[in-house]
């Protein structure tokens, strides 16, 4: 089977492309390198030991996307391509709504036009808003604090409504918690452009000496130690969950939380990183970050029950693999 992976040169897309190739799928990657680099394609092929077909396209470009469907037999789509910086989305809402919503519309329209009925969508735990933890797929969604989160809610709704009138259409909405870590080779990983927004890449850059110290955004939350609690999941566990979701697709809409089901605070993650790698991470506590919630972690029983999938890699492995990638990584 041939799978179109949009954003396949990105952090989660590249790891998933490797998992797909290893599972015997053919992979077509569509990416515009907005938040990734051309050398990722060669690294994916090297790590998977197989070739991919690659198109440098912006998936909001309907004509360019249609050309891929015209020239290739596509059996399914995994749609990663999108902007994902929460803070930036507050400052540039139109950029986020345009890019993230139009890309979903273009791809759903192409599925209809070319008869592709398997769709896996990269969604996010952000859609839950400030619900009560642990988050469960059946929960009513609450308003998110940012346009990025709203684009995920809207894309889920577009695909759900499209599924309602196309009985053969199978869509899996995968709600990621906090993806971290890197492929065990250290060859690929999370390489954000500029100063990292997310905690783990910030920690690894402090460890490397690129950044002076970690700023912990608030220690007065109602949590175990006052710092924010999140459900960190290894990116390779996440990648393998996409293969499982693809293999278990059935007509209709299925929603799955992809996390470990365990919450880890900022201070606990810092300590885990220090213990796993024998490095001290200097930090200072500063004011809370706008839009942050105290706790976010998943009820992961549905993915285990229906996909036969659960996260296998622990927080120590996440910290070791993240650090290995940072050490080897050259800008």
* DSSP H or E stretch at residue 108: helix 93-114
Q: What tokens appear for 321 in the block?
A: 């693999």
Are 313 and 237 spatial neighbours (Cβ–Cβ below 8 Å)? Answer: yes
Q: What is the largest CA-CA distance in the chain?
A: 55
Among residues 112, 215, 248, 302, the one that binds ligand WQD under rule CB under 6 A: 215
Please report whether residue 217 would count as binding ligand WQD according to CB under 6 A.
yes
Among residues 66, 131, 185, 198, the one that binds ligand WQD under rule CB under 6 A: 198
- Give φ, ψ of 59 to 5 degrees: -75, 5
- Name which of 22 and 215 has its Cβ closer to ligand WQD: 215
User: Residue length, the chain?
Assistant: 331
Q: How far is the CB of 199 from ligand WQD (least distance, A)?
A: 4
Among residues 5, 199, 246, 253, the one that binds ligand WQD under rule CB under 6 A: 199
Active site residue 148: yes
- Name which of 84 and 117 has its Cβ closer to ligand WQD: 84
Query: What is residue 233's three-state secondary structure?
Result: strand
Between CA 216 and CA 292 the distance in angstroms is 12
Write down the catalytic residue from 148, 202, 232, 256: 148
Pick the piece of the chain touching ligand WQD (CB under 6 A) from 99-107, 108-116, 191-199, 247-255: 191-199
Please report whether residue 32 would count as binding ligand WQD according to CB under 6 A.
no
Q: How far is the CB of 42 from ligand WQD (least distance, A)?
A: 26
Residue nearest ligand WQD (C-beta atom): 228
Please report whether residue 59 would count as binding ligand WQD according to CB under 6 A.
no
Q: What tokens appear for 172 in the block?
A: 């899996």
- Residues from 70 through 89 that contact ligand WQD (CB under 6 A): 84, 86
Are 178 and 230 spatial neighbours (Cβ–Cβ below 8 Å)? Answer: yes
DSSP state of 31: E
Q: How far is the CB of 168 from ligand WQD (least distance, A)?
A: 29
Contacts of 165 (CB under 8 A, 6+ apart): none
Are 315 and 232 spatial neighbours (Cβ–Cβ below 8 Å)? Answer: yes
Task: Give the Cβ contact number of residue 284 at 10 Å.
Answer: 9
Please report whether residue 135 would count as binding ligand WQD according to CB under 6 A.
no
- The site for ligand WQD (CB under 6 A) is made up of 84, 86, 124, 126, 176, 178, 197-199, 202, 215-217, 228, 230, 266, 289, 292, 296
Catalytic (active-site) positions:
148
């Amino acid at each position: 089977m041939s799978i179109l992976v949009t954003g396949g040169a990105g952090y989660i897309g590249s790891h998933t492309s490797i998992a797909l190739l290893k599972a015997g799928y053919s992979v077509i990657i569509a990416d515009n390198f907005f938040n990734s680099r051309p050398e990722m394609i060669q690294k994916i092929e090297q790590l998977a030991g197989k070739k991919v077909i690659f198109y440098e396209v912006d998936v909001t470009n309907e004509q360019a996307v249609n050309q891929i469907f015209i020239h290739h037999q596509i059996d399914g789509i995994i749609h990663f391509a999108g902007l994902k910086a929460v803070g930036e989305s507050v400052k540039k809402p139109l950029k986020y709504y345009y890019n993230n919503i139009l890309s979903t519309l273009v791809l759903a329209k192409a599925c209809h036009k070319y008869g592709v009925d398997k769709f896996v969508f990269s969604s996010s735990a952000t859609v839950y808003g400030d619900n009560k933890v642990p988050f469960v797929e059946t929960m009513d969604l609450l308003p998110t604090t940012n346009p990025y989160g709203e684009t995920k809610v809207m894309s889920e709704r577009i695909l759900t409504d499209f599924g309602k009138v196309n009985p053969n259409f199978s869509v899996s909405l995968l709600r990621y918690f906090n993806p971290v870590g890197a492929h065990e080779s250290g060859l690929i990983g999370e390489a954000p452009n500029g100063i990292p927004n997310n905690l783990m890449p910030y920690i690894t850059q402090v460890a490397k000496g690129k950044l002076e110290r970690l700023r912990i955004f608030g220690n007065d939350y109602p949590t175990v130690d006052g710092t924010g609690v999140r459900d960190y999941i290894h990116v390779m566990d996440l990648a393998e969950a996409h293969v499982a979701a693809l293999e278990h697709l059935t007509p209709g809409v299925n929603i799955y939380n992809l996390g470990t089901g365990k919450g880890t605070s900022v201070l606990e993650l810092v300590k885990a990183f220090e213990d796993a790698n024998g490095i001290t991470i200097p930090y200072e506590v500063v004011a809370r970050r706008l839009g942050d919630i105290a706790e976010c972690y998943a009820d992961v029983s549905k993915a285990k029950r229906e996909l036969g999938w659960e996260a296998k890699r622990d927080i120590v492995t996440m910290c070791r693999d993240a650090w290995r990638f940072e050490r080897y990584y050259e800008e």
